[in-house]
Amino acid sequence: MFRKIVLTGSKAPFSANSARSIRSYQYAANADHLGDALSHDIETVPLVFDKHEPKSKPQTEKSPFVFLHGIFGSRSNTRTVARQLANSMERNVYCVDLRNFGDSPHTERLDYPSLAADVERFVMEQNFAQKPIFVGHSMGAKTVMALALRRPEMPKMVVSVDNAPVATLAVQSLFPKYIRQLRYSLEAEKRTKMSEVDADLALVEPAKEIRQFILKNVKLGGKSDVCRSKIPLSVISDAVVKGNIANWPYDHNVAKWTKGPTLFVRGTNSNYVPDEAIADIANYFPNFEIRDIEAGHWVISEKPAEFMDVLREFVERKEDGEDL
């Protein structure tokens, strides 16, 4: 089941007259405090991706979907959903590995400006006939939001799944313990069996399905059979500790996205997008809608059918001409 939130950008009780909006218009002409968050000169890496095509010929007038995963994720996370959406919505769907995850290159920098810059490069290399619809979960959600602020002309629509343009305390509490335990298991203890790594993770994460998700980033080694990480844990740990994944490095007085509609999908059992974040959503993405799905943080994997229903209804309504 999902619940439609009536509150939208045009109806939200957070107007330009609010204290939050008035507070810092002095920054509007000066983006120096954002560093290179909006720069187009960030060094990028080529991203690995899967392209899912409909069984029938894709309709070229329809925008493709570009799916971005969260931390510890990869392009495989949304493979089943992507295949179903490609067929039911008659368009191509791309699932992308972000830098330092899946099969994409490893690099020292890991933050939202660099993550977004890689995706921008990917889009330009694909030379899509239509502007893509970006769908991101968790870290991927902040990446698509950052892309919209950095390249306002690039998205047709933006869909953020269980994240918001705010600092996210849940990231700081959950993921450091996973990283520490993986490093202990793989680097200190040098476990040789996946079951041993799982047992180590179980000390900090009782949910088997979450451990299985994290363990997709672990592989057995060569002749020694020592388990190894597929992803650069030291880089990811550094990014998490510094707050690069939890934080939000933008200022709505400098950059906001008004070029198209934005959908925020929340898991009702998750604390990533509290009601208090709606004011910030309205400031950065004025043309927004919110849907709630009865799920935890991993909304797409927990409730794929409900998620696809929500996404399909939103996109088809907008493509039929509402608010575009």
CB burial readout 7-40, b (16+ within 10 A) else e: bbbeebebeeeeeebeeeeeeeeebeebeebbee
CA-CA-CA-CA dihedral for 196, 200, 202, 205, to nearest 10? -140
Output the six-digit token pair for 227: 């388990």
Predicted pLDDT at 58: 74
Cα 276 to chain centroid, rounded: 20
Greatest CA separation found in the chain?
66
Q: What CA dihedral angle connects 80, 82, 84 and 90, to 10 degrees?
A: -160
What's the confidence (pLDDT) of residue 312?
Answer: 98
pLDDT at site 27:
34
Instruction: Just list the catalytic residues.
Output: 138, 297
Residue 119 CA to residue 81 CA, distance in Å, equals 20
Domain ranges of the chain: 2-168+248-319, 170-241
pLDDT, tens digit only, all 324 positions of the chain: 544 444 544 333 322 222 222 222 233 446 788 999 999 999 999 999 999 999 988 778 899 999 999 999 999 999 999 999 999 999 999 999 999 999 999 999 999 999 999 999 999 999 999 999 999 999 999 999 999 999 999 999 999 999 999 998 766 577 899 999 999 999 999 999 999 999 999 999 999 999 999 999 999 876 778 999 999 999 999 999 999 999 999 999 999 999 999 999 999 999 999 999 999 999 999 999 999 999 999 999 999 999 999 999 999 999 998 555
**Phi, psi dihedral angles at 96 (to 5 degrees):** -115, 140
Question: How far apart are alpha carbons 314 and 308 in whole angstroms?
Answer: 10
Q: What is the pTM of this model?
A: 0.89
User: What pLDDT, on a 0 to 100 scale, did the predictor assign at position 74?
Assistant: 98
Q: Which two tokens stand for residue 70?
A: 């969260």
Residue 323 has what pLDDT?
53
- Classify 2-168+248-319 by CATH class: alpha beta
